[in-house]
Amino acid sequence: MQEKEAGMLGRVNHIAIAVPNLAAATASYRDVLGARVSPPQALPEHGVTVVFVELPNTKVELLEPLGEGSPIAAFLEKSPSGGMHHICYEVDDILSARDRLVAGGARVLGDGTPKTGAHGKPVLFLHPKDFFGTLIELEEV
Amino acid sequence: MQEKEAGMLGRVNHIAIAVPNLAAATASYRDVLGARVSPPQALPEHGVTVVFVELPNTKVELLEPLGEGSPIAAFLEKSPSGGMHHICYEVDDILSARDRLVAGGARVLGDGTPKTGAHGKPVLFLHPKDFFGTLIELEEV
């Protein structure tokens, strides 16, 4: 059996889906798919308004751009109807995770210093080109 | 508290990621991200070879096309480096879920009859245009 190592991937914290119209997407997930959804939360410092879709084992986050320079604006320009934007994995220690990733040749976005994410915890994003087109967020929990 | 209704979304069973090179992607998830990965499993009847990335609360499935007419071939033609392909949610009763979805105006792919999915269970796919660019699989568990 493989032991858990420092820097290993933990739970899927959330799957983020960018949408052009949060009210319509929320109604779809609630009324058509039959999921539990949170009220919308504006996070101006992150450039998004978010609705949490609560599943029994993880959550989906529906993201709509908020304000100028939203980090999901370019994505929605390319995919105007929306789409899966990133996956967030939990890690125990974000600095050791980062060091392991960089040693493995992966690129961390920005200057490599964890930022405070939308849940108030340290996060990093990894370059999607290093992970087969998937944008990966790591969140220390 | 909201009661669980027939047809409601259950757990995220998996997040599927299409990749052009399964061996390379598996090595990345195992060695760089530090995740547990399964051996590759060829599923010729589904047109994919799959590696399971086991997380504590769900799994990621890395999919590589197998044979002619793979259901992920068109996706990889459009996104040659790969990307998030679909999310699979568990439901208790796939026929009641389907009926609820159709009543809500969602389109089920194919003729609406559940097929046997990659895990040997009944599955349906929903039209991504009805869910903001996200391809959704429902699996009865």
CATH number at residue B24: 3.10.180.10
Domain assignment of residue A71, given as a range: 12-140
- What is the band of A5 on the pLDDT scale with cuts at 50, 70, 90? low
A98: in domain: yes
Give the C-alpha distances (Å, rounded to integers) separating A67 from A17, A73, B117, B119: 18, 10, 42, 43
* Residues of A carrying an active site annotation: 137
The predicted-structure confidence for A43-54, as pLDDT tens digits, reads as follows: 999 999 999 999
Select from A86, A99, A89, A94 the least CA-distant residue to A127: A86
The backbone torsions φ and ψ at residue B37, rounded to the nearest 5 degrees and listed phi first, read -125, 150
> For residue B97, is it within any domain?
yes
Q: Catalytic residue at B137?
A: yes
Residue B1 in any domain: the answer is: no
Nearest to A15 among B2, B15, B82 (CB): B15
Is A23 part of the contact surface with chain B (CB cutoff 8 Å)? no
Please report, in angstroms and rounded to a whole number, the separation of the first and last CA atoms in chain B: 24
Q: Would you call B141 an interface residue with chain A, using a CB distance cutoff of 8 Å?
A: no
pLDDT tens track of chain B, all 141 residues? Answer: 444 554 589 999 999 999 999 999 999 999 999 999 999 999 999 999 999 999 999 999 999 999 999 999 999 999 999 999 999 999 999 999 999 999 999 999 999 999 998 889 999 999 999 999 999 999 999
Domain tally, chain A = 1
Q: Is B5 contained in some domain?
A: no
Calculate how close chain A gets to B64, using CA atoms only, in Å.
11
Contact B34 A134 (CB under 8 A): no
- Quick check: is B2 in a domain? no
In a domain, A136, yes or no: yes
Minimum CA–CA partner of A97 in chain B = B33
Q: ipTM score of the complex? A: 0.93
CB contact under 8 A, B82 and A8: no
In a domain, residue B3? The reply is no
What value does the mean pLDDT take over residues A8-25? 96
Which two tokens mark B90? 């568990």
For residue A44, the distance in angstroms to the closest alpha carbon of chain B comes to 23
In single-letter form, the type of residue at position B57 comes to N
The two structure tokens encoding residue A25? 């997407």
Q: For residue B6, is it within any domain?
A: no
Mean pLDDT of A85-93: 97
